[in-house]
């Protein structure tokens, strides 16, 4: 019997198998039927994938998203890597992605467009707009035939018959559907609609594919009117749902959203506000009437004529006082002007002549007090005596000194 020193441990063998599966087989895509699907409290999903002759265990961790709810018996395509669950020594598929059978390529296209639009900000919450609480004009983009339009119309007619509906028909399935839906949304931009409902009934991913296309996403994103996406059933999600301002689980639910205030509720609100407004107006009228009575009976208003006469008399007295003050001021100013005039005249060099004084002049030269007349005595010099209006010429024969007493 050989030595146990060269034998591998179970853990080493399991690790070697895991490494071999990972390197030699790598990523796998397997189709089969789901069996024994369970979701643990942690959110991890465990199930078996089987066909007519074989089966394999699968695990899909909670961190990996699903766009649908897997059910037992459903044909799916999973993508992942082969691993070994060491505690039980069983190999299994660690699934990265799961799609319904036959929808793998469409799902990849869906995921790629979703990622692109998310990067461009088409899903940003700040771009979402609120739906009007009381829309009166509602635009609808859907097929003109079928149950969807009938459900929408019947709901609106029952809950909000006052609303005006703009139906812009479009094919919702097939090659031309994306352009028709986008064109209908663009057409309704030229109306006065308050909100738009864009949707269709349920179906397979192929049936709903028009609402997973770029033209429809761009038309919804650039719409100036808020849009409710109502595509398929509650479990169906499309690109249009992520771009729209609000997603409704069904077209009927969309009609209920825009008619939250049904006719009876609206009439009740109108009655409530009418009564409240009436009470408010009546109270204001009562308050103004009381204020008017108070002003009418006030002392100031009742004696207004007497007060007006008093003010008129005060105005007359003020006018008389002002006239007297003005006359007094004019007299004082005239007296002051006379004094100033007399003073200026007294300062004039010839003013002493008016009081009987005279100037002595020899030739062109006036004699000052410092000059003596003796120098002209016995000469032929003529001394002119200048008065205010007369000039006399004299010859000086003798000069007598005389001193006049000056007043202290």
User: pLDDT digits over 181-200, tens only?
Assistant: 999 999 999 999 999 999 99
| Crossing angle of helices 251-258 and 147-159, rounded to 10° | 20
Q: How confident is the model at residue 11 (pLDDT cuts 50, 70, 90)?
A: confident
Q: φ and ψ at 385, to 5 degrees?
A: -100, 115
User: pLDDT digits over 359-368, tens only?
Assistant: 777 777 777 7
Position 382 scores a pLDDT of 65
Residue 83 has pLDDT above 90, yes or no: no
Position 383 scores a pLDDT of 64
10-101 falls under which CATH superfamily? Nucleic acid-binding proteins (2.40.50.140)
Task: Quote the percentage of the chain above a pLDDT of 90.
Answer: 39
Looking at the chain, how many residues does it have?
408
Q: Sheet containing 227-231: which strands, arranged edge to edge?
A: 164-167, 137-141, 195-200, 227-231, 246-247
Please, what is the average pLDDT of the chain?
Answer: 84
Residue 357 has pLDDT above 80, yes or no: no
Position 82 scores a pLDDT of 86
Rounded to whole angstroms, how far apart are CA atoms 209 and 225? 23
Report the range of poorest mean pLDDT among 60-69, 126-135, 248-257: 60-69
Q: How confident is the model at residue 356 (pLDDT cuts 50, 70, 90)?
A: low
Question: pTM score > 0.85 for this model?
Answer: no
Rounded to whole angstroms, how far apart are CA atoms 83 and 95? 10
Q: Tell me the β-bridge partners of 79.
A: 29, 97
For the segment 361-376, the average pLDDT, to the nearest whole number, is 72
Residue 292 has pLDDT above 90, yes or no: no
Closest CA to 188 of 139, 230, 226, 258: 139
CB 242 within 8 A of CB 138: no
Q: Are strands 195-200 and 227-231 parallel, antiparallel or unpaired?
A: parallel
- 258 contacts: CB under 8 Å, gap ≥ 6: 131, 135, 138, 156, 160, 163, 195, 197, 228
Residue 120 has pLDDT above 90, yes or no: yes
126-261 falls under which CATH superfamily? Hypothetical protein af1403; domain 2 (3.40.50.10550)
Rounded to whole angstroms, how far apart are CA atoms 294 and 290? 6
Would you put residue 232 in left (φ > 0), alpha (ψ -120 to 50) or beta? left
Domain positions in the chain are 10-101, 126-261, 263-293, 347-407
Residue 348 has pLDDT above 80, yes or no: no
Q: Are strands 90-100 and 195-200 parallel, antiparallel or unpaired?
A: unpaired
């Amino acid at each position: 019997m050989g030595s146990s020193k060269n034998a591998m441990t179970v853990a080493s063998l399991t690790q070697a198998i895991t490494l071999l599966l990972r390197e030699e087989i790598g990523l796998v895509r397997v189709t089969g039927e789901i069996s024994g699907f369970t979701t643990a409290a942690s959110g991890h999903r465990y199930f078996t994938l089987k066909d007519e002759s074989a089966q394999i265990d699968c695990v899909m961790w909670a961190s990996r998203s699903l766009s649908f709810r897997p059910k037992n018996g459903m044909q799916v395509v999973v993508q992942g890597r082969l691993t070994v669950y060491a505690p039980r020594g069983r190999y299994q598929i660690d699934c990265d992605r799961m799609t319904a059978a036959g929808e793998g390529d469409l799902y990849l296209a869906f995921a790629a467009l979703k990622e692109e639009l998310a990067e461009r900000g088409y899903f940003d919450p700040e771009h979402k707009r609120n739906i009007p609480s009381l829309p009166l004009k509602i635009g609808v983009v859907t097929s003109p035939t079928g149950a969807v339009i009938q459900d929408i119309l019947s709901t609106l007619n029952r809950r909000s018959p006052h609303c005006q509906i703009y139906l812009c028909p479009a094919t919702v399935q097939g090659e031309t559907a994306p352009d028709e839906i986008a064109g209908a949304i663009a057409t309704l931009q030229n109306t006065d609609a308050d909100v738009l409902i864009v949707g269709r009934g349920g179906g397979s991913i192929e049936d709903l594919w028009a609402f997973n296309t770029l033209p429809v996403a761009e038309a919804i994103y650039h719409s100036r009117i808020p849009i409710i996406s109502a595509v398929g059933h509650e479990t169906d999600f499309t690109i249009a749902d992520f771009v729209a301002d609000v997603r409704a689980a069904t077209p009927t639910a969309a009609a209920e959203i825009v008619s939250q205030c049904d006719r009876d509720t609206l009439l009740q609100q109108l009655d409530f506000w009418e009564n409240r407004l009436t009470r408010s107006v009546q109270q204001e009228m009562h308050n103004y009437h009381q204020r008017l009575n108070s002003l009418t009976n006030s002392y100031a208003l009742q004696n207004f004529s007497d007060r007006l006469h008093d003010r008129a008399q005060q105005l007359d007295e003020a006018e008389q006082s002002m006239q007297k003050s003005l006359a007094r001021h004019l007299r004082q100013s005239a007296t002051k002007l006379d004094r100033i005039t007399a003073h200026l005249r007294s300062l004039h060099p010839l003013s002493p002549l008016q009081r009987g004084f005279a100037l002595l002049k020899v030739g062109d030269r006036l004699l000052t007090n410092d000059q003596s007349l003796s120098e002209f005595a016995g000469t032929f010099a003529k001394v002119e005596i200048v008065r205010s209006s007369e000039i006399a010429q004299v010859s000086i024969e003798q000069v007598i000194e005389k001193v006049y007493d000056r007043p202290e």
